[in-house]
C-alpha cells in the first residue's frame, strides 16, 4: 500500500508539473535557445528540405523570421515535419511552438481546436490538375472522374462540397502523404489531382513534361494560409502576428535584406524608423528587443524577397492576389506603431 501511495504521489507531481510548465512560450523558447517550428513533410516552395537537408520555402522562412526576432538567430530553428492531421494537434499540445505549414485558417480550427491563427502569409485556393490529354477545360466536366488527394485536410471537405454543389459524382482516392497522392495521379490512377493551386503549380513544375498537365481555371475554395500558435498565450500570438506584418510592411516601405542596416541608420521615413527601432521601441510592445525587425530582415529579407526566392524564381508562381494592397493584391499589414 505504501508503495502504491508513493507511486500515485509521484504521478500527481508529474502531472502537476506538466500542467505548470508553459507559463509563457516566449520564456520557454528563450530558455531552450531554439524555436520548435512545425513544417510540412515536403511541399516545394513552402517547406521542403533541399539536397543539403536545409529547409527551404516561404513557410520555413517564416519560422526563421520568428527565430530571428525572438532569439536574434535565424538558424536557431528546430524544424519538425508534421503530417497533415498532426499540424493542429502538434501546436495545441505544445509539441511545437508554432506551426508554419500551409494551414488554412478556418473558424473551427481557430475556435474549437485549441489554436489561434496569426496573420495570413499566402492567399491560396483549391484547384484541380488534369492531364492535358483528358481534353476538358473546366472542373465542372469532371463528372465520374477519379480524384487523388491527401487525408486530414480541408481539401476533402472542399471536394465533397464542390461535387454536391455541382451535382458531380467524384470518386476520391485519399492518401496519407502528398507524395503518394502525386505519384498515384502521375501513374494514371486518378483523372485529376486536387489540392491548393500553389502546390499544384509546384507539383506540375516537378513533372518530367509539365505541358502534359494542366491546371483547371476553377478555384473552388478560399484557403488563407497562416501560421498558428496554441490558444491562450496572447503575447506569443502577438509576436508571430507582428513578425509577419513586419515582413509585409518592410516590402511596402522598400526595406530589404541588403539595405536594412543603411535604412535603420539613415532612413528619413518616421514609419521605417519606428519599425527598425531607430526611434521608439516597437519591439518592447511584444517583449522583444527594439531591433527585432532589423534582425528579421537581415536574416530572411522582406515578404517580397521571400516570395520571389521561394515561389517565383523556382516555381514560376506570380504574385497574383498575394501582391501588396496598393498594387491590387490582398496583402494589407496592420500599421506598426
Residues binding other proteins (CB under 8 A): 4-5, 7-8, 11-12, 15, 18-19, 84-85, 88-89, 92, 108-109, 111-115, 134, 142-146, 148, 151-154, 156-157, 159-161, 163-164, 170-177, 180-181, 183-184, 187-189, 191, 230-232
d(CA 66, CA 119): 13
* Rounded least distance, CB 193 to other proteins, Å: 12
Question: 1 vs 33, which CB is nearer to other proteins?
Answer: 1
Question: 163 vs 216, which CB is nearer to other proteins?
Answer: 163
φ, ψ of residue 63 in degrees (nearest 5): -55, -45
Cα 170 to Cα 16, 161, 163: the distances in Å are: 50, 11, 7
Question: 27 vs 262, which CB is nearer to other proteins?
Answer: 27
Question: 76 vs 174, which CB is nearer to other proteins?
Answer: 174
Cα 9 to Cα 2, 3, 99: the distances in Å are: 11, 10, 35
d(CA 65, CA 72): 9
Residues 6+ apart with CB under 8 A from 111: none
Cβ-based neighbour number of residue 156 at 10 Å: 15
* Rounded least distance, CB 103 to other proteins, Å: 11
Question: 72 vs 177, which CB is nearer to other proteins?
Answer: 177
Supply angle C-alpha 201, 82, 257, rounded to 5: 60
Cβ-based neighbour number of residue 128 at 10 Å: 27
d(CA 62, CA 74): 10
* Rounded least distance, CB 234 to other proteins, Å: 13
* Rounded least distance, CB 290 to other proteins, Å: 32
Question: 3 vs 52, which CB is nearer to other proteins?
Answer: 3
Residue tagged 532569439 (cell numbers) = 71
Give yes or no for a contact between 255 and 302, defined as CB atoms under 8 angstroms apart: yes
Question: 120 vs 142, which CB is nearer to other proteins?
Answer: 142
* Rounded least distance, CB 40 to other proteins, Å: 14
Question: 148 vs 333, which CB is nearer to other proteins?
Answer: 148
* Rounded least distance, CB 161 to other proteins, Å: 7
Residue tagged 517565383 (cell numbers) = 312
Give yes or no for a contact between 49 and 107, defined as CB atoms under 8 angstroms apart: no
How many residues are there in the chain?
Answer: 337
Residues 6+ apart with CB under 8 A from 308: none
CA dihedral sign of residues 279, 281, 282, 288: positive
* Rounded least distance, CB 25 to other proteins, Å: 13
Question: 114 vs 280, which CB is nearer to other proteins?
Answer: 114
* Rounded least distance, CB 35 to other proteins, Å: 20
Residues 6+ apart with CB under 8 A from 213: 129, 130, 131, 132, 204, 207
* Rounded least distance, CB 215 to other proteins, Å: 18
Amino acid at each position: 500500500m505504501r508503495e502504491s501511495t508513493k507511486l500515485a504521489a509521484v504521478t500527481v507531481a508529474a502531472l502537476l508539473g506538466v500542467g505548470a510548465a508553459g507559463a509563457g512560450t516566449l520564456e520557454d523558447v528563450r530558455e531552450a535557445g531554439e524555436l520548435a517550428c512545425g513544417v510540412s513533410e515536403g511541399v516545394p516552395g513552402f517547406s521542403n528540405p533541399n539536397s543539403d537537408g536545409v529547409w527551404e520555402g516561404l513557410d520555413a522562412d517564416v519560422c526563421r523570421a520568428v527565430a530571428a526576432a525572438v532569439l536574434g538567430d535565424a538558424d536557431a530553428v528546430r524544424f519538425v515535419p508534421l503530417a497533415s492531421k498532426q499540424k493542429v494537434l502538434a501546436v495545441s499540445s505544445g509539441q511545437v511552438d508554432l506551426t508554419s505549414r500551409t494551414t488554412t485558417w478556418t473558424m473551427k480550427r481557430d475556435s474549437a481546436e485549441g489554436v489561434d491563427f496569426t496573420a495570413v502569409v499566402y492567399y491560396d485556393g483549391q484547384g484541380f490538375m488534369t492531364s492535358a490529354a483528358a481534353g476538358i477545360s473546366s472542373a465542372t466536366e469532371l463528372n465520374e472522374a477519379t480524384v487523388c488527394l491527401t487525408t486530414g485536410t480541408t481539401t476533402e471537405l472542399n471536394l465533397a462540397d464542390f461535387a454536391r454543389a455541382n451535382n458531380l459524382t467524384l470518386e476520391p482516392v485519399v492518401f496519407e502523404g502528398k507524395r503518394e497522392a502525386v505519384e498515384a495521379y502521375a501513374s494514371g490512377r486518378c483523372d485529376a489531382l486536387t489540392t491548393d493551386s500553389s502546390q499544384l503549380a509546384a507539383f506540375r513544375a516537378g513533372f518530367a513534361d509539365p505541358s502534359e498537365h494542366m491546371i483547371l481555371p476553377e478555384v473552388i475554395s478560399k484557403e488563407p494560409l497562416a501560421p498558428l500558435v496554441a490558444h491562450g498565450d496572447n503575447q506569443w500570438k502577438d509576436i508571430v502576428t507582428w513578425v509577419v506584418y513586419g515582413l509585409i510592411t518592410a516590402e511596402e516601405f522598400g526595406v530589404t535584406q541588403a539595405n536594412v542596416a543603411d535604412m535603420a541608420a539613415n532612413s528619413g521615413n518616421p514609419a521605417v524608423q519606428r519599425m527598425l527601432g531607430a526611434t521608439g521601441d516597437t519591439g518592447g510592445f511584444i517583449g522583444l528587443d527594439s531591433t527585432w525587425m532589423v534582425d528579421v530582415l537581415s536574416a530572411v529579407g522582406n515578404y517580397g524577397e521571400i516570395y520571389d526566392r521561394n515561389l517565383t524564381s523556382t516555381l514560376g508562381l506570380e504574385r497574383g492576389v498575394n501582391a501588396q494592397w496598393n498594387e491590387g493584391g490582398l496583402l494589407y499589414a496592420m500599421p506598426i506603431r
